[in-house]
Structure 1
């Protein structure tokens, strides 16, 4: 697993956590995949490297990201998935990949992928 920072955007109920759960399962996470809404971060160790799933929804100030020591996590190797990154705006690095999930009628979703770095370009199909 290579290093990457992926942002997940969309309104409440769009499916960001569901998407992250499916991705984590596809990467080999076994057992329960918890939402990080209350813990803010859920770490996973896989044979190919580390994965961190963040949910910044409960942040009231972007400085909470710095106070939590996440700068060190983001500086380390591995995959970082972040829901509600706008709550830590100005402190997060440029995302390699930005995934936007937009709810449509009848439980349908529109998913848009956008690369923010050369690494993100490599991740696009």
Structure 2
């Protein structure tokens, strides 16, 4: 699933971030917004804002942001030895990857209140 880069966590104003204490986030955090291909059903929906920590090392079953062909995409990691199998967050077949391909681990999801 595609995500759109919004910018560093402390510098971006977004209504979905209301109630999030930005001061608790490390300087290595940035924000991405879930793209429309996510749809409106499921644990992640279009418009969700994800806090991503680029300093955190991906572990088994983490949501990770990976840059593929100049686009940020969201995957769930499945650790296999020293590498990972990245499974698309919205389903589908995965692909092998190494830690250096990971652009960060999702540490929080914020949803705009209705």
**Shared fold, TM over 0.5:** no
**Structure 1 length-normalised TM:** 0.26
TM-score using structure 2 length:
0.28
Q: Greater share of strand residues, 1 or 2?
A: 2
Normalized per residue, the structure richer in helix is 1
Structure number with greater CO (CA < 8 Å, separation at least 6) is: 1
